[in-house]
Amino acid sequence: MSIEVQLRESTLTRAVSDAVQERLYYTCLPSANGNYVDHVDVSKSRPPKLAPHGDGTLRLRMWLDVYIVTGQQLSGSANGVPQGATTPEGQLVATFVVSMSGERLNIVLDDLDSDPPNPLLAAVLGAVKAAMPLIPPVDFAPVFTTLDISTPQTSRIDLVNGVAALRFDAVGPVANHLLPGQDWAIVVGGGDIEEFVGDQLSGFVVPHLTLTPHWTPASGLPRVTVGWRYKPDLPDPFTATGTGDIGTGLALIAPGPSATLRLTANWTLHLDLGSAVPGFVDNDVERVVRGYIAEAFDPADIGATRIDDRSFFIDVQLPPLTLAGASFRYTSLTGDAAGMTLGGTVGWLGADYDKLSFSRVPFGRPTWFGTCRTNSRIPKKLKLKDVSCWAWVDFSSYGTYCGVRYIGPSTALPYLDPPATGSRTKAVESVSFEIPATQANFVTKDVTIVLQTSRGVRQINFGHPIVDVDREGNVAFDVVYIDNCFHLTPEQTHIIDWLTGKGPGSPEELKPPPKEDPNWSLLLAAGRGLEVQLVTLSDLEPGELIRHRSPTHSIDVTADADGRVQVPIFLSLNDKGSQLSLERVNRQSLVGKFQIKAASFVRRAAVQRGRDERLEPSYDGGVTLTRALDKGIYREAITAEGIRLPIGFVAGQGRGAAVETAPVTSLQPQPLPPKADAVAGLDGVMEVLPIPGFESEPVAVARMSDGSAVVLDVDAAGRTRVAGRFSGPIGHLTADAGWGLAQTADRTYVFKVGRS
């Protein structure tokens, strides 16, 4: 039998359709003639079809549902979902040629057209075709190399009974060899497996020994019995003939995308000295010869591992195989009279079909923002200069953010704050406006945008700010107040609870963050900012465990030899209370054993990240932010209350230019007491991060090369130790002179820093 690779028809079509859906999910398509492509999906109502073409190739036809939203539909469904986003305008049909070239399987897009013809689809046909992915060829040459099979002279692909058979040096009619539960398989004839085992044992060289392999599957398992004949040199008058076999079985080790094929061998020997020699002499000489063979043959000589004097195994790494992002898993191995079948299941790419989801917060009255720890009371009166008007739209399941088309009015445009075009995070993104109340008076018309993503296009109407000022100049305002104070309850004195009367809960353990933690940018952008509290616990039992849990963090630390430990707590300044807890695991009381210091970081600006960014304090307690972008150098004032006022722009000097102003406030990362060189003996330290707001405290977090993180602290003797485990977002947020600065891949955040 020739070697074949067989795929279920559904395996091949799903792998390709998943790759197409994955590409379309994240592709921004241009508008045409005032119409928008809302999104494009591989059709679920009309599954892909595979058919022979008569020239030794196959044709895969795939239908795409195209959703078109007209400008009229958008304007008529502001803040809703337009009709074109829910009903496809029509279908495109993509035709792929599936063929073999040597040991390679090729899948190439041959044609894309509307089905049936449709003028609206014709306008976007070219853009959709350009977005179709290139399917990399699947090279099966490593399979031949691994199994010691000669390079085939011919190859072809056939379709039979729902199976695509990739046939190499084909002999005889095609047949379905897949077993129940197999999505794919490599089918190898018994003769080829004999040669494979013979090649693996070719180094089993003992004088006067000949080997003859035979394909002898047993109980559905692949097995080769290697018969041998041995003619040892014996002193006269003895003559002897030795016979025996090497029983070899094949098995899968560590099934998966890159499994191991293990060949286990056990050899036997029978020596016949002739009828004139007593049996006990036969046995004695046989033992001597067996010992000689065992001594003459070292399994390591053929890359094998010894089990005992007559047993060993050889491991062969199976090559990883992928088709359009789907990985073939080696999970089953069987044998019958015809040969061996090695195959299994498929790890799918798992393409998304989600559609754009959004929630809008329109303009209203100006807002005052405060927290329990930084504001002793809520003000009763405020002036225009003290407040801003906010509006935003949060959106998710959006694939790729393609941009915003601003409709008007022009008075609000300078305050538009969108994410970076091309963003494709899995988290919630936002397009927002923060307009100083002093400027909001001039925004008298509804602020409207068209939000464009690869998974939907929506028109968003934010309304307009409502600014009412009395005769004394006091403005009517709304209050956002966050209770971020802690509480000890009489029932649970061993837990500091940030929500009065609530138990510690059991939030899900977080996975260790990657080195560039994406959740750090989410924490910076959430709510109105964040607060970092440093809890110092003392008079504990040396070595006792302290546990902190929150929706974002999981920290386990132990007290040092003096019974002291510091725990950093991260709280998002949002409108909702969060379940946070800090407990002594031994359930002893915390009363009188802790102190809490806090640094609040109230976000005053979130802008596109630039180069050479600088903050300069201003006379009124605010700062001036200067940054270089490709279009030029921008300067804007940020008041202590968070009012942003553009004050300067120099066009055409951004690219490659440095900002010519020395920073009065240096907000670069500062060294910590637990410095990187102090933990040189700790393997795998990638970086040491200060606790934001507490750079001078003897505590820090170290990121490790395996993706985990640990808490470091310095004891009274100046020794740095690993206090415990840290899981959750953390990054660089430097603070000085009442202001803080943090940067992510595409955003810069400016914070007003308060301490208590």
- For the chain, domains (ranges, CATH) are 4-141 (no CATH), 189-346 (no CATH), 357-482 (2.60.40), 487-669+733-755 (no CATH)
> Minimal CA–CA distance to 332: which of 261, 275, 421, 278?
261
Reported as a single tens digit per residue, the pLDDT across 363-411 is 999 998 888 777 768 889 999 999 999 999 999 999 999 999 999 899 9
CA distance 529 to 735: 14
CA distance 7 to 183: 6
**What are 719's two structure tokens?**
């020794």
**What are 289's two structure tokens?**
């010869």
DSSP state letter for 306: E
Which residue is associated with the tokens 């407990």? 583
CA distance 187 to 336: 11
CA distance 270 to 254: 36
**What are 672's two structure tokens?**
């910590």
**What are 53's two structure tokens?**
């073409």
Range from 332-341, 480-489, 696-705, 722-731 carrying the lowest mean pLDDT: 480-489
Residue 291, classified by CB atoms within 10 Å of its CB into exposed (0-12), middle (13-18) or buried (19+), is exposed
- Helix 9-25 to helix 119-131 angle, to the nearest 10 degrees? 100
CA distance 392 to 430: 7
CA distance 398 to 27: 11
pLDDT, average across residues 446-462: 96
Is 80 exceeded by the pLDDT of residue 700? yes
CA distance 198 to 552: 58
How would residue 665 be classed by pLDDT, with cut points 50, 70 and 90?
very low
Reported as a single tens digit per residue, the pLDDT across 158-172 is 999 899 999 998 888
CA distance 125 to 603: 44
Helices (runs of H) and strands (runs of E) counted in the chain: 8, 50
Q: Report the share of the chain in percent with pLDDT over 90.
A: 44
pLDDT, average across residues 109-121: 90
168 three-state secondary structure: strand
Q: Give the pLDDT score at 36.
A: 95
CA distance 458 to 429: 15
> Minimal CA–CA distance to 47: which of 61, 57, 27, 28?
61
Higher pLDDT, 577 or 653: 577
How would residue 534 be classed by pLDDT, with cut points 50, 70 and 90?
very high
Chain mean position to CA 546:
31
How would residue 502 be classed by pLDDT, with cut points 50, 70 and 90?
very low
Is 60 exceeded by the pLDDT of residue 275? no
Range from 335-339, 392-396, 507-511, 704-708 carrying the lowest mean pLDDT: 507-511
Q: Give the pLDDT score at 372.
A: 78
Q: Give the pLDDT score at 295.
A: 60
Residue 745: phi, psi to the nearest 5?
A: -60, -35
Cβ-contact 535, 550 below 8 angstroms = no
pLDDT, average across residues 307-332: 91
Q: Which residues are CB-neighbours of 172 under 8 A, at least 6 positions away?
A: 1
pTM: 0.69
Q: Give the pLDDT score at 285.
A: 53
Is 50 exceeded by the pLDDT of residue 524? yes
Is 90 exceeded by the pLDDT of residue 330? yes
Q: Give the pLDDT score at 174.
A: 86
Q: Which amino acid is at 276?
A: A
Is 60 exceeded by the pLDDT of residue 628? yes
Range from 260-264, 321-325, 737-741 carrying the lowest mean pLDDT: 737-741
Burial code of 520-538, b = ≥16 C-beta within 10 A, e = fewer? bbbbbbbbbbbbbbbbebe
Residue 9: phi, psi to the nearest 5?
A: -55, -40
Is 50 exceeded by the pLDDT of residue 501? no
Q: Give the pLDDT score at 294.
A: 59
